[in-house]
Amino acid sequence: MSKTADLIEQVDQYSAHHYHPLPIVIERAEGCWVHDVEGGKFMDMLSAYSALNHGHRHPRILEAMKKQLDKVTLTSRAFHNDQIGPFSEQLAKATGLGMSLPMNSGAEAVETALKLARKWGHVVKGIPKNTGEIIVCDGNFHGRTISIISFSTEPKYKGAFGPFTPGFKSIPYGDSDALAQAITPETAAFLVEPIQGEGGVIVPPEGYMKRVRELCDKHNVLLIADEIQTGLGRTGKMFCCEYDDVKPDILIMGKALGGGVYPISAISSEPELMLLFGKGEHGSTFGGNPLGCAVATEALRIIEDEGLVARSYETGEIFRARLSEMASPLIKEIRGRGLLIGVEIKEEYGPARPFCEALMSHQILCKETHESVLRFAPPLGFSADELDWAMERIEKVLKNAP
């Protein structure tokens, strides 16, 4: 057997079968390029679900990490460290929100936001204890903890994992009238993705987030924006909510915050909300560790220094235009903003997975989502030459019906 087959067999024998990866084994990477164990070279157009906005192994991020590794990596929050302050200040500048609370994974950040919203609902809004409700959207994806899958509408994510956590109500995505009808005196918050990435790169109607902000203000409901996948330049704005000039009450971040080298997530809000967390009410051993904070601080600086937000917007506009110009009979719809792009395949041409496999044979790595959608999300520094290289291969796979 090949080295690839041997390594995949080893994974199949000793690791849980909870993913369905493409049959490639990557051993090194740089920028938007990866190399497999057979010596093949491929373009990464998934970016680890937007965790690699900076590209693989950005030299400044690696340098920040190496420098911190030589000093201290973990203190826990039992003591102060010299990195969490600079990180928190940098994040406040990026978000326009005064305080943050760092965790490790996106799901942890979502759970943190839910806890804060529930406490606010009871302590500030006056919702009777243990009755507060949080509204979510059909087709959402916010993680895979028990609480989070409790309000998923995807049967595959819920499976046989019940019983589920109560206190959530789901409404159609992109429908502000449905939100208006769903709000009750017990509603503490509305949790929403400005674009549903895992849901199929679903872009809501124009002005949706602005209308949502108005409804939340009118009814004294917190607006929680999950920008784990859409944030930090991915959609052509620093945060996708900016397309509607909206500032959420709680902003959730993760993925690219760690620069593709270290897991770190955070929520941001104004102090009057964040300070509702009392001492000992919430935390994490690794949350806010100096290594993660040093990496994230540099990751935020690079986005600004290298103009990655503008580059994402401009390249994304060209990318979607060129996909449209193909006039492929296979394509039902092209959706997205910036460099978060979904290409939906017409039902009669089958699921998207075989197209991902065909693209891999042409050195393009992407992944299907919701069966029929190809998701293209290259690193934000994606160049014009790299786009030309990619389009030549994408056209070979998608331009003509089989």
* pLDDT value of residue 400: 73
Of 305, 336, 363, the position where a domain reaches its end is 305
Compute the C-alpha angle 32/36/41, nearest 5°: 50
Closest CA to 241 of 314, 276, 190: 190
β-bridge pairing 331-337 and 265-269: unpaired
**Residues 235 and 290 placed together within one structural domain of the fold:** yes
Query: pLDDT by residue (tens digit) across 269-305?
Result: 999 999 999 999 999 999 999 999 999 999 999 999 9
Closest CA to 240 of 368, 32, 53, 47: 53
**Residues 248 and 364 placed together within one structural domain of the fold:** no
* Mean pLDDT, range 324-350, rounded to an integer: 96
**Residues 97 and 195 placed together within one structural domain of the fold:** yes
* Spatial separation of the C-alpha atoms in residues 32 and 24, rounded to whole Å: 16
Strand ordering across the sheet containing 373-376: 331-337, 340-345, 373-376, 367-369
**Residues 18 and 68 placed together within one structural domain of the fold:** no
Which residue matches tokens 């373009």? 43
**Residues 100 and 235 placed together within one structural domain of the fold:** yes
Q: Which CATH number do you get for residue 139?
A: 3.40.640.10
Question: What one-character-per-residue DSSP string does 319-365 give?
Answer: HHHHHHHT--TTEEEEEEETTEEEEEEPGGG--SHHHHHHHHHTTEE
Query: pLDDT by residue (tens digit) across 148-195?
Result: 999 999 999 998 999 999 999 999 999 999 999 999 999 999 999 999
Phi/psi-derived region of residue 252, left when phi > 0, alpha when psi is between -120 and 50, beta in every other case: beta
Of 305, 328, 347, the position where a domain reaches its end is 305
Closest CA to 268 of 92, 31, 55, 61: 92
Q: Which CATH number do you get for residue 23?
A: 3.90.1150.10
Domain count, the chain: 2
* pLDDT value of residue 401: 63
In total, the chain counts a number of residues equal to 402
**Residues 10 and 36 placed together within one structural domain of the fold:** yes
* pLDDT value of residue 370: 87
* Token reading at 59: 């030299």
402 confidence band (pLDDT: 50, 70, 90): low
**Residues 50 and 156 placed together within one structural domain of the fold:** no
**Residues 130 and 194 placed together within one structural domain of the fold:** yes
The proportion of the chain whose per-residue pLDDT surpasses 70, expressed as a percent, equals 99
Cβ neighbours for 324, distance < 8 A, ≥ 6 positions apart: 334
Maximum distance among all Cα pairs of the chain, rounded to whole angstroms: 65
**Residues 104 and 139 placed together within one structural domain of the fold:** yes
Closest CA to 136 of 120, 114, 115: 114
* Mean pLDDT, range 341-356, rounded to an integer: 96
**Residues 30 and 127 placed together within one structural domain of the fold:** no
pTM confidence score: 0.97
* Token reading at 124: 């500030």
Of 246, 275, 305, the position where a domain reaches its end is 305
**Residues 118 and 230 placed together within one structural domain of the fold:** yes
Query: pLDDT by residue (tens digit) across 107-135?
Result: 999 999 999 999 999 999 999 999 999 99
Q: What are the catalytic residues?
A: 141, 226, 255
**Residues 28 and 109 placed together within one structural domain of the fold:** no
- Residue 183: domain span: 59-305
